[in-house]
Copies of this chain bind each other. A is one copy, B any other.
């Protein structure tokens, strides 16, 4: 047992990006009430090698039993803990347009501990406008709101033109993570984590594949 989560140790980003995939497949198994699974079976479902799965998990600890495999419940519990899903994460959303509403009503957020505490919009929202049970407030109240509430993540679904300004308010208000859907690169201090969702990138990859698809196999190595 030489697992590697001491502060300063480096977990490769490529491993971290696979954790949500593991989380998803394990959640499905749990929903189906599957009790145990081996690295071979789970890897086959996901489409990776058993070696890779075990190797990835071993970055964080020893979660299986030789000769038996993994208890689905236990492994999911551990993966959730690694991802920080073992406690609630409080979020605000700014920009209650179509995209913002879609994100607010994204299924499964609540069940994973992501909780929208408030939503804000540029325009003065109609009195008591509610989306998914969240009251939409005018954005000028964001600053004072953040003074009163402890918020972990700010979700930006505004047009690109307003995104930087919102990010500045979020950072000043003590938010430590930004989930940015606006197509613009945000400038933020080093200690704030930003995840930028570039929806259109996957469309371009799709376009590439269609364009270069022969009649046989695809000229792509995964």
Contacts and interface: CB of A to CB of B under 8 A. Distances in A.
Interface in A76-110: 82-85, 89, 97-99, 101-103, 105-109
Q: Looking at chain A's contact residues, is the secondary structure mostly helix, strand, loop, or mixed?
A: mixed
B210 A153 contact: yes
Contacts of A16: 205, 208-209, 220
Interface residues of A, number: 67
A11 interface: yes
Interface string A196-222: 011111111111111111101111111
Interface stretch (A141-149, A165-173, A175-183): A175-183
B177 A83 contact: no
Contacts of A212: 5, 11, 84
A25 to B, nearest CB: 10
A44 interface: no
Contact of A82 (B19, B193, B208, B217): B208
A30 interface: no
A222 B21 contact: no
Given A193-B209, A214-B7, A220-B10, A204 B19 contact: yes
A84 B200 contact: no
B200 A20 contact: yes
B193 A213 contact: yes
Interface of A: 5, 7-13, 16-17, 19-21, 23-24, 82-85, 89, 97-99, 101-103, 105-109, 114, 152-153, 160, 176-177, 179, 183, 191, 193, 195, 197-214, 216-222
15 contacts: A5-B212, A10-B220, A11-B212, A16-B209, A17-B205, A19-B204, A19-B205, A84-B210, A98-B99, A98-B101, A114-B203, A114-B207, A153-B203, A191-B213, A193-B218
Given A98-B98, A103-B199, A195-B205, 5 more contacts: A5-B212, A10-B221, A106-B200, A109-B200, A153-B206
